[in-house]
Structure 1
Amino acid sequence: MGDEKRDVIEVLTHDHREVEEMFDELAAATDADERRRITDDVTIELVRHSIAEEAYLYPAVRKVVPDGDQIADREISDHAEVERILKELEKADAAHESFNTLVNRLIEDVSAHVEDEEGNLFPKLAEHADADQLLELGDKVQSAKRVAPTRPHPSAPNTPPLNKLLAPGAGLVDRVRDRLSGRGSD
């Protein structure tokens, strides 16, 4: 994907498809270690994606979309619930039935969130933002994902300016922990 310019809707829709593919892989996996690895990969992607949306997408939605505050608040609330599930999954034993229950809740919640974004938020954003704004947001989201945390931090701020200030530091710590543990390296 290099230096290719993509608008924010393309970037985020691509992320959605990647997560859906990981969910399919997770559903097919039977080995507990494999399920843990895939869940860690899903967590990394979802946390990075959420942080980028909260830092740049939702503030833009608040600014340019009619009823943008209401839409952004609902999306942030969805993220908070997903992050709570991810935090529980992080501690759960992948061989235990409760792990499967949490995975199913995660898939349901994320799927509903994706459907809402793609069916409601993205069309409204495309209608009210111009092409340059969408491209600029795409760049910002991609940059934010590169420095974002890779682990759930449910008590961290999820709105600017604090999320923009704190996320890169948490991201650095998470990436160091991931490197040392081998998490997300495959």
Structure 2
Amino acid sequence: MGHGGNVIAELTTDHREVDELFARIESQPVGDEQRRKLVDELTKELVRHSVAEEMYLYPAVRAHVEGGAGIADKELSDHAEVEQHLKELEGLAADDPQFDHLVAKLKLEVSEHVRDEENRLFPLLAASCTPEALDELGDQVRRAKKTAPTRPHPSAPDTPPGNKLLGPGAGLVDRVRDALTGRGQG
């Protein structure tokens, strides 16, 4: 993930990639190990995306959108639920009876969150910020995704300054763990 354009274009492209990952997971036979690998890939993308939104998008919504604090709080609550499901999925094999149930639940929550962002939050942000500010937010989000964690950390802070201080360190540790275990490489 890292596509270019303003923050809305960047995050919308991420959303379509997540949709595609869900479709790829669903196209695999139930219990197939490829489902596990695809869920690992999905987890990495969702965590990086969420961390970048928490670091830059939601503070911008709070600062620029009327009623933005309430909107940002709702989005953060959505992220917490998704992250908890990702954590529950992390240790499950593809043939575990709970695996497909949690993937379906995750897809529903992510789809609702995406729909809310694209239909409500993004239009409000676009109306409240200059094109230059949206471009700068896009650059910040892309930079954040490069150093963000790749595994769920439900107890980590999700608002500044804590997330900006701890996120890159957790991201480094996660990427080392991913390299050592081969996670997300096939």
Instruction: Please state which band the TM-score falls in when normalised by the shorter chain.
Output: over 0.9
1:113-141 alpha-carbon deviations (Å, 9 max, x no partner): 00000000000000000100000000000
Counterparts of residues 52-71 of structure 1 (less than 5 Å)? 52-71=52-71
Measured in 2, the distance between the counterparts of 1:185 and 1:91 equals 17
Secondary structure of 1:97's partner? coil
Measured in 2, the distance between the counterparts of 1:48 and 1:5 equals 16
Task: Please give the root-mean-square deviation of Cα atoms over the aligned residues, in Å.
Answer: 1.2
Counterparts of residues 1-186 of structure 1 (less than 5 Å)? 5-30=4-29, 31-186=31-186
Give structure 1 stretches of 5+ with no counterpart.
none
TM-score by length of 1: 0.97
For residue 5 of structure 1, report the CA deviation from its aligned partner: 4.6
Identity fraction in percent: 58
Measured in 1, the distance between the counterparts of 2:4 and 2:81 equals 31
Amino acid aligned to 2:133: Q
1:33-63 alpha-carbon deviations (Å, 9 max, x no partner): 1010000000000000000000000000000
Aligned residues: 185
Measured in 1, the distance between the counterparts of 2:36 and 2:157 equals 27
Give structure 2 stretches of 5+ with no counterpart.
none
For residue 96 of structure 1, report the CA deviation from its aligned partner: 1.7
Report runs of 4+ in structure 1 exceeding 3 Å deviation: none
Measured in 1, the distance between the counterparts of 2:50 and 2:95 equals 27
TM-score by length of 2: 0.97
